[in-house]
Structure 1
Amino acid sequence: MEAKQKIASLREVLREHNYNYYVLDKPTISDYEFDMKLKELQALEEKHPEFYDASSPTLRVGGAVTKNFETVVHAHRMHSLDNSYSKEDLEDWEKRVQRILGDVEVEFTCELKYDGASISLTYEDGSLVRAVTRGDGFQGDDVTTNIKTIRSVPLRLKGDYPAKFDIRGEIVLPFEGFAKMNQERIENGEEPYMNPRNTASGSLKLQDSALVAQRPLECLLYQVTGNDLGIESQWQMLEKAREWGFKVPSVARLCKSTHEVLAFVEQWDTERHELPYETDGVVVKVNNLQQQEELGYTAKAPRWALAYKFKAEQVSTVLNEISYQVGRTGAITPVANLRPVLLAGTTVKRASLHNADQIAKLDIREGDTVFVEKGGEIIPKIIGVDFTKRSTDSNSTIYISNCPECGTELVRQEGEAQHFCPNDMGCPPQITGRIQHFISRKAMDIEGLGSETVELLFKEGLIKNYADLYILTKEQVMPLERMAEKSAENLVAGVEASKSIPFERVLFALGIRYVGETVAKKLAKAYKNIDALMMANMLDLVAVDEIGERIAQSVVAFFDNPENVEIVNRLKSYGLQFSLSEAQLQNQTDTLKGKSFVVSGVFEKLGRNELKKLIEDNGGKVSSSISSKTSYVIAGDNMGPSKKTKAENLGVPIISEDDFLGML
């Protein structure tokens, strides 16, 4: 019993010292004393394995090896943020927020946008149970073992934390630690790492957690998600997270207006260079969580938050050559091949030139000295030409007229910015591009099959379209370059497993132009199966919520092509999911078809998201703002007075939660 008490006491003491050192940055004992206590605990735990604790401080030293990182679906989606680069963008966003919320007071929290690797941590009963990378926002990789080695991530929480919640943040590598790592690499004759962000991101997928433990990574938290959290605002959320033991940056401000927001942005655009971490902007959020819920989300981002990006770094270099890429839809993208130049921590060799109009507008020519910046600190782009350095024998750029891959004459539709190669069934990059889209994570998510393997399978004549994947055998695949027996087995097994992917993702995977994830879900929901969709005409399709003429034309054209129909019929015969599942159909009706609802306030029986799902499952449409097209406003407690006034002025019926449930 004495050993058990000693172990418990040491764990508690070490947790507290760890918190003081890595979170508060106020150590109360020396590193030597800390290490001695840690070694004492390790010895006791080895002697008494019956007292194992998954949140013991000794687990931070790493040592466990992860060969394959399990894919985990996020309980709450990790959205990306819309970007803003000017005062006008910010003011337009505020107007949109105010238009939806009505005449109510809106406060904003401003936090620095740290440039690291996004992470979601799940806590149950005060213990860290899972850490998952952002991935595609819907699902990511389980990297719990590696995250446990990061000292600023609490394994056990303090205070009045909720029973279960997720907390989101960034894994960052401070400049000081990054410089030290690079110094060691140079001394060992190794290439230095390029920038802290990529190094932090790469650290999360190292197989040996002991290597992760050696890297001075930190975790900065900023967002708590879950149910019944007892938190009313973003500002309160930050304070609570600090109390529970998380490292929450102190650089934040509560603002009453966009004028105050801009003052915060201007201050940190200058002072950010004094910070210990990389930062590329300010995240502005509506402070009130109820208002956040009312504002909701677009298909990609929350309406209640915006990333205001600092001015991008800019450099000049020489444009050696313009080449042209063919995408899976046949779109031609001109690419600037540059003299390599260091920009925002990475070596840039290529930049997109977008289209012929952009080249003509900037008068970009081969041999020019051009100005390059990273749009949103990610994608390099050419923003201008240094005409003082242009050669006198320079010639204007003449955009290509034929496909660089198959030689077909390019077309440019009226109103389109890009040129297209119309040879969709015979142009190699279009064929392989469609197959690569088909196997991608958000589509069929076929494990064991990557872009390079697709290229190889096509080159060897084993596949001509994505339906051919389903008749591949291990014996056909094994002779390929870098393909061992196990790899071949995994590829064939991954293709077989993809047959369980739901209809809406199969529809997205087909690669119909303009049919992205969100549109695919809407079409799947509206038509229930592929046969009904294949029979739909233009008028039918545009009657579906948020399906415009351009999408409708594309869908009709896709199924008018006999080769596409043949491929879909082959996929059906191989057992892919081409209709909604029984579970999906079970609770769906057309009871609310043609009706549009605005949900506002707090409800007793259902959460706002549950109400919205009920509306959509029964054929109705959920809108964020009241207009003359709104059929009903479902009003809960604390509904904004301006919304009530607007509904009354427009003659839109205001109903209660019970009234709505009665409709069903």
Structure 2
Amino acid sequence: MSLADENADEDNPYLRDPPTEFSPVDALSAEEARRQVAQLREAIREHDRRYYVETDPIIADRTYDALFSRLQALEEAFDLAHPDSPTRSVGGEPIDAFETVEHVAPMLSIDNSGDAADVREFDERVRREVGDVDYVCEPKFDGVSMEFVYEDGSLTRAVTRGDGREGDDVTRNARTIGSVPQRLHGDYPDFLAVRGEVYMPKDAFQAHNRERIERGEEPFANPRNATAGTIRQLDPSIVADRPLQVFYFDVLEASDLADSHRDELERFPAYGLRTNERVEVVDDIEGAIDYRDRMHEIRDDLNYEIDGVVIKVDEREAREELGRTARHDRYAFAYKFPARAEVTPITDVAVQIGRTGRVTPVALLEPVDVGGVTVSRASLHNPEEIEAKNVDVGDTVRVQRAGDVIPYVEDVVEKGSTGHYDLPDRCPVCGSAIERDGPIAFCTGGLACDAQLRRSIEYYAGDGGLDLEGLGEKSVRQLVDAGLVESVADLYDLEREDLTELDGWGETSAENLLSEIEDSREPPLPDFLSALGIPHVGPATARELAREFRTFDAVREAAEDDPEQLETVDDVGETVAETIHEFFASEANAEAVDAILAHVSPQEATAETGGDELDGLTFVFTGSLAELTRSEAQELVEAHGANATGSVSGNTDFLVAGESPGATKLDAAEENDVPILDDGEGEFRAALAARGVELSAE
């Protein structure tokens, strides 16, 4: 019996026009609390059904929130938590791993084709084996298929499709999805296993991707990837924060089976299981083909991704007679759509803030196939490009992709807006003003902007900077989010205990990072200049500046007082010189640099007196070296004609490994068959000596 049945004789005050002011929790007796909890659970389940299944809510969102909060408070105060409670939908403690479980019934794939001739051949086989049939036609959702098992009306298990025979038990994550009822409604069977498609609505996907882009995170490629990545999160609270939904479309097993598929689907809403409103029943295959063509026409208007339609024999007896192969049920066929190609509408525009504050508008797209790759975003470059192309949300555009770079909008194919997109006046990350500099726009927040701060730290620690192994995008985000790092200079104040308290950090990884940071306190001048992230000053230009001015103070003085001096340096013209001047003239940048210099003393660049003994060789260094600092070793090999890079690749000739070497570089060396020189064994010294270079300990 359902909880609704238990309270059927009672007038539930929380169903219609419910109160939102309650007596204090401590004023209730245990019996009164149990009674109110039962009523609240019943009411909230009904409101969930009306919201997710009927799409006809009878109370406002704020009223629902008040009821939900009251239920949480009562369950906690009177120890009335229950697996069926709607409050289980708010997530829980992270789990270590997913258990693999066998499905109640096989979740097989569907035979498919994009050719109408194959669809008609399917129909001929069906009619030859079982006679005339009706077909149930439904959208083929592009999400994640799952099994949901209800026993005595309660959700007991939710399992991913896996290999069709068994999958991952993700019940705790599924409970956080609003359209997954914890308990069924109405006259449900004692046992019911249903198949549903978990998906992320297109508008919610675009909004979620926009938030990720503006936070400086990598966006998802398409809604299906976003759904798959979410449902297998180990932390249910993350799943609860993401906008997932479910359509239920089939019965896998039940204690009370209907005679036809259409009858099963008609029962679902009464149970609280959400079905798709586009399902139709047709009496011949031509009707099914017409259904597919109509769905293809409205595909872009739907708020969920579909890649075709599914045609199913309606009568259960005929289904059983048709049977199945080892891979798919023989009573169903998927009639696929052709892939979208290059032309697609813009659904939104996100604003991405770069390391230097540069604002890049990114078009969020209906996913489209471009060169065999599905893309859902494309660069709009800058405000001047947007104005020239007259592009805005709602326009249908042609998307191009060159190599591995982010795709870009080439032109507008069909105008769906009345003008062009205008950048916001304020940075979406920090709220600082956005200003134009010719064709480019910049956030004026500087290192006070979290997006610029994270990217500045990543760049400072990256291959183009000081090469601090262990300080990548994920770890930088952890440090910033935990409030441990609010500037680059804060890296030098980190303590071991700060790191070991973070998720995924142990004693060894903490000590390795602190050792890397300690070794960076006296960096080579070129590395330090590059690490600061001065616009247009990469490693090559930084080396030329160091060679010309020798000390950091000399570079800074020239930049601040006489930027024309900079133009005497190779690779530095008037525009680059002005950019360097503006960087050092900025008060915020000056304060940030001074804070770093309180911990760091860039080395004075020396005249290059070496030869070309190491010409053509590429070295990578990791760990603490025995006789030189890593920076000194890099300078040494470069002075004799070699290249010193920060990452191992197939072009690397030697990886020099000191004490506590980085695992990433060691693994990359093994994968690329790069010789590893053990500095502790003197192999680096021997390799240099064999080529006529003496390693001096001075």
The TM tier, using the shorter chain, reads 0.3 to 0.5
Which structure is higher in RCO with an 8 Å CA cutoff and minimum separation 6? 1
Structure-2-length-normalised TM-score: 0.46
